[in-house]
A = this chain, B = another copy of it.
Amino acid sequence: MITQAAALIERVRTSNPLIHHITNYVTVNDCANITLAIGASPIMADALAEAADIAAMAQAVVLNMGTLNERTIPAMLAAGAAANRAGIPVVLDPVGAGASPLRGDTARQILDAVALTVLRGNSSEIRFMAGLSSSTKGVDASDSDLASDSDAMAVAKAAAQKLGCTVVITGPVDTVSNGVHGWRIANGHPMLARLTGTGCMCSSLIGSFCGAAPDAPLTACIAALLTEGIAGEIAYEQAGAQGTGSFRVAFHDAVSRMTADTLVGRAKLYEA
């Protein structure tokens, strides 16, 4: 698996997939830059009048619920449906699902209308999406949900089976399952939690890898999680002591310079 995942780095860089994002305005610049850093091309277009047109020319669609509004929700539904028609992957990042009725309702609307390829969230968000009990605090995973992280694999597998897609739960250890197979990625650094947008960027990386490998979403997710986690480790080694500003710059540097060898050499990847 690690060889296949690592090989996708080169595939992203040579195929340069166009990744359509309908995402939040907080971290959208980070998402665009990380998509470029890994070798894909970002396009952000959230008007209902063009969402389907843009999705139809892309190689993957990323829907991110970070700053929903009544204008972008129908655009997400239209882009997701267009992606389904075109047969390209759809990644959903249900930011803060459970934090408000609007987010819960929107998440359910998307699940009803769009066949997802990958669902990525923290443990609170994925529990909510799968109908399991959770206590969301804002957009970060709640402590009680993190405390129960030991059963993250059971949650991921159950959610994957229920929702019919690959499910990623990010946290101190990342978990991914397609309902049959499950993997854990233990790379990363706690300092990633001190930056905004690391979850959103992870979803953009998943979209980028899925765009290059539309038939292998599990492998694409593993490649993305390894890239993010290992880039976090490298960034901490190079700049962590300086503070969050330098760490952020070094994180982008590390993603832009990531190689298959680095992924293979540093991967902490375990089959569950």
Contacts and interface: CB of A to CB of B under 8 A. Distances in A.
A44 B24 contact: yes
A264 interface: no
A249 B247 CA distance: 9
Contact of A248 (B25, B46, B68, B252): B252
A30 B29 contact: yes
A254 interface: yes
A247 B255 CA distance: 13
Contacts of A45: 67-68, 96, 100
B252 A243 contact: yes
Chain copies in complex: 3
16 contacts: A26-B29, A26-B32, A29-B29, A32-B197, A33-B196, A37-B194, A41-B138, A41-B139, A43-B99, A46-B67, A47-B69, A49-B101, A50-B68, A54-B99, A243-B257, A245-B256
B252 A101 contact: no
Interface in A61-93: 66-71
A67 B50 CA distance: 10
B33 A244 contact: yes
Contact of A71 (B69, B99, B138, B196): B69
Contacts of A36: 194-196, 244
A271 interface: no
Interface in A117-150: 137-140
A207 interface: no
Contacts of A248: 33, 245, 249, 252
Contact of A47 (B18, B70, B252): B70
A246 interface: yes
A268 to B, nearest CB: 23
Interface of A: 18, 24-30, 32-33, 36-37, 41-47, 49-50, 53-54, 57-58, 66-71, 96, 99-103, 137-140, 194-197, 242-246, 248-257
Given A137-B18, A140-B41, A71 B68 contact: no
Contact of A53 (B25, B57, B101, B255): B101
Task: Give 7 closest A-B pairs by Cβ, nearest first.
Answer: A243-B253, A245-B252, A32-B196, A50-B100, A245-B249, A50-B102, A244-B256
Contacts of A32: 26-27, 196-197
